[in-house]
Amino acid sequence: MTSDAGRPTLGVGIVGYAFMGAAHAHAWRTAPHMFDLPLTPAMVAICGRDAAAVRAAADRQGWASAETDWRALIARDDIDLVDICTPGDSHAEIAIAALDAGKHVLCEKPLANTPAEAEAMTAAAERAVARGIRAMVGFNYRRGPALALARKLVADGRLGAIRHVRAAYLQDWLTDPSFPLTWRLQRDRAGSGALGDLGAHVIDLAQYLTGEPINAVSGSTTTFVTERPLPGPAATTAASTPASTPARGLVTVDDAATFSARIGAAGTLGTFEVTRFAAGRKNALRIELNGELGSIAFDLERLNELLFHDHTADPLTAGFTRVLVTEPGHPYLSAWWPPGHVLGWDVTFSHQVADLVRAIADGTDIRPSFADGLQVQRVLAAVQASAADNSAWSPVPTTAP
């Protein structure tokens, strides 16, 4: 199929229409209008189990049609790429089926709920490469211009050997014990709690920015609220339960986690904290790297800024410099607005789409790959293992699946 602009069309189908599905849909709408892409994404179909809700989402988000079975979506001839925005327990089944059917795949993070699932997904992605099929995991923060600039500074040697990585991702949306028991609080659906939801991001950023894998961790996790009210109709109590007492269910994931890490062959030290109980912190992701020649620091709540310290400068005037990452020469910025006109969180998803579409058109590999997602999954599992048996250090496998 060819678009009105004369470029081949990339038919996109998405599974999931809630928070992440809406963010991805916004990116598919926006990217072709801001970037000169070699393929034109067509928002062909959206899939969800509730027919009325998914039809409403299709109309609201701009999808041409709706499906209630992801297998039917994959089977469609007009779908070239499957975008997976479902809870983690369905990632592996959908992704493997899509790749084996010859569809490109974009899968939200974490890649899966277990290393075994992630290994199977990575193996499917590697099989698909021989047929020109690409698979990418959605660690969108890599596509923030300031963090992309940070990676360039590290790769160019501006920080020298990296000594320390410290990262935190803090939210507060679970501090109220009456907040209902959603799928994100159930291990069989989500795999883990704050560790996988938030920790996956800072683990990936640490490995992306340093260019090195985390090879050992020592961690601790905790669950502050162990029971919560059941949501929706499930909250209606049984006849044997007093009407004033809402039905409750067990929280089976962590609410918070902290861990130390050893990164790369040089033994870079890493410290990580993730929680959904940091009152007053809405979406506070911070990461800092200290090297022999300098440091960089990033705060998601100051999305367009990067702090850079050149330790080789004159000590009388040296210090952290605030870099406003809005110049045309900064990563991704040539497609957007004049200098000083700041960008928002949503653009990271548009950049993700643009990079993926170009890789598909060029037949080149795309990062973060499913193998990158597998490595993050192995770190998550190692933190869980360390926390479970109070071990000092838990190794992280780095061999191929």
Which tokens is 92 given? 């592996």
- The CATH class of 9-141 is alpha beta
Determine the pLDDT at residue 19. Answer: 96
Does 399 score more than 80 pLDDT? Answer: no
**What fold, for 145-223+250-302+304-343?**
Dihydrodipicolinate Reductase; domain 2 (3.30.360)
- Domain locations in the chain as residue ranges: 9-141, 145-223+250-302+304-343
Does 237 score more than 60 pLDDT? Answer: no
Does 374 score more than 60 pLDDT? Answer: yes
- Kindly indicate the confidence band of residue 238, based on its pLDDT and cuts at 50, 70 and 90: very low
pLDDT over 90 for what percent of the chain?
A: 93
Determine the pLDDT at residue 386. Answer: 96
How far from chain centre, in Å, is Cα 58?
Answer: 23
How far CA 314 is from CA of 150, 295, 395, in Å, comes to 22, 15, 41
- Per residue in 241-286, pLDDT tens? 455 567 999 999 999 999 999 999 999 999 999 999 999 999 999 9
Determine the pLDDT at residue 239. Answer: 41
Could you tell me the pTM of the whole model? 0.94
Mean pLDDT of the chain: 95
Contact 61, 13 (CB under 8 A): no
- Per residue in 86-130, pLDDT tens? 999 999 999 999 999 999 999 999 999 999 999 999 999 999 999
Determine the pLDDT at residue 232. Answer: 75
- Kindly indicate the confidence band of residue 233, based on its pLDDT and cuts at 50, 70 and 90: low
What distance in Å separates the CA atoms of residue 55 and residue 50, rounded to the nearest whole number?
Answer: 8
Which tokens is 227 given? 């029971």
Picking from 183, 251, 168, the residue whose alpha carbon sits closest to that of residue 20 is: 183
Does 4 score more than 70 pLDDT? Answer: no
- Per residue in 36-70, pLDDT tens? 999 999 999 999 999 999 999 999 999 999 999 99
Determine the pLDDT at residue 392. Answer: 82
- Per residue in 141-156, pLDDT tens? 999 999 999 999 999 9
Does 84 score more than 90 pLDDT? Answer: yes
Higher pLDDT, 322 or 400: 322
- Per residue in 306-348, pLDDT tens? 999 999 999 999 999 999 999 999 999 999 999 999 999 999 9
Which tokens is 307 given? 């702090």
Q: Report the interhelical angle of 91-100 vs 115-129 (nearest 10°).
A: 10
Determine the pLDDT at residue 342. Answer: 98
Question: In this structure, which long-range contacts are made by residues 300-309, counting pairs with CB atoms below 8 Å and at least 24 apart in sequence?
Answer: 300/141, 300/144, 300/345, 303/144, 303/146, 303/342, 303/343, 303/344, 303/345, 304/145, 304/146, 304/342, 304/343, 305/146, 306/146, 306/147, 306/149, 306/150, 308/153, 308/158
Contact 305, 322 (CB under 8 A): yes
